[in-house]
Structure 1
Amino acid sequence: MQIVKREEIVEGILEENALFSLEELCRSCRLPLEQLLEIVDEGIIEPVDYQQTTTSWQFAGNSVVRVRTVIRLQRDLGVNLAGAALAVELLDEIKVLRANLL
């Protein structure tokens, strides 16, 4: 897997095998570290290898999409973090079910 810089994100399209450091994910999503760590604690995104120290964590490309979805849910609908986590999981399930129908 390769590490992708924020500048390489084009029109919200991310490669599945792209990796982001914790710092890059913070910059890409425009979130402070503490808020992103809360999102990790809630289980919305997971580092590729929890065994690493937080400064060495890497996140899959779809983590950016998930975090941005959480941000929109909180901003637009006033959903708390636990509610946003549930909504993101349900949205993922819907995608899987739709893909199975095709």
Structure 2
Amino acid sequence: MSTTPTRGGLEAATEPVTELTLLEVSRCCAVQTGFVIEMIEEGALSPMGGSAPESWRFSMVQTHQVMVAARLQRDLGVNLPGAALALQLLDEVETLRAQITAAAVATATPAAPDADRA
């Protein structure tokens, strides 16, 4: 069985899903659709698509954010504004780590030439 989500029960040979609907996100994250809507109202998520909930689409990153927010609420009792702040800070940490990695790669020195080749 493939761990890649697919729509309509199609086999893994089809293209993987990169966007989910509101209902799919809520099912995947085991939350009510109202929870996802509250995250949008709080500014923690910005769905793609139109203004109607039926046309909203969410990326895999956003789906992960819903999972994290739900876990923060369930396990730590964090309210939604606190979860939104935590998500923002986690995103900033990830961005800073990527910048540090890029800087380390850019400043890496090549191996020194052999000493006997002068």
Q: TM-score, normalised by structure 2?
A: 0.69
Q: Which amino acid aligns with 2:87?
A: V
Q: Which residue of 2 aligns with 1:45?
A: 45
Instruction: Indicate if the aligned counterparts of 1:26 and 1:33 stay in contact, CA closer than 8 A.
Output: yes
**CA–CA separation in structure 1 for the residues paired with 2:63 and 2:52:** 20
Distance in 2 between the 1:64 and 1:47 partners? 10
Computing the radius of gyration over CA atoms, which structure comes out larger, 1 or 2? 2
- CA separation of 1:23/1:76 partners in 2, compared to 1, >3 Å: closer, same or farther? same
Structure 1 position 52, deviation (Å): 3.8
Write 1 or 2 for the structure with the bigger share of strand.
1
CA-to-aligned-CA distance 1:17-74 (integer Å, 9 cap, x gap): 810011111110111121221111111111113x342111111111111011101111
One-letter identity of the residue aligned with 1:57 = W
Separation of aligned partners in 1, 2:86 and 2:58: 20
- Matching of residue 29 in structure 1 with residue 37 in structure 2: no
* Residue 81 (structure 1) shift: 0.2
Partner of 2:81: 82
Q: Aligned residues, how many?
A: 92
TM-score, normalisation: structure 1: 0.79
**Alpha-carbon RMSD:** 2.4
Unaligned runs of 5+ in 1: 9-14
Code of the residue aligned with 1:86 in structure 2: it is: L
| Cα pair 2:72 2:78 within 8 Å, conserved | yes
Question: How far apart in 1 are the matches of 2:72 and 2:51?
Answer: 30
Aligned-pair identity in percent equals 37
| Runs of 4+ with >2 A deviation | none
Structure 1 counterpart of 2:44, one-letter code:
I
Task: Compute the displacement of 1:4 (Å).
Answer: 4.5
Q: Distance in 2 between matches of 1:95 and 1:74?
A: 21
| Aligned residue number for residue 56 of structure 2 | 57
Taking CA–CA contacts closer than 8 Å with sequence separation of 6 or more, which of the two structures ends up with the larger relative contact order?
1
**Which position in structure 2 is the counterpart of 1:69?**
68
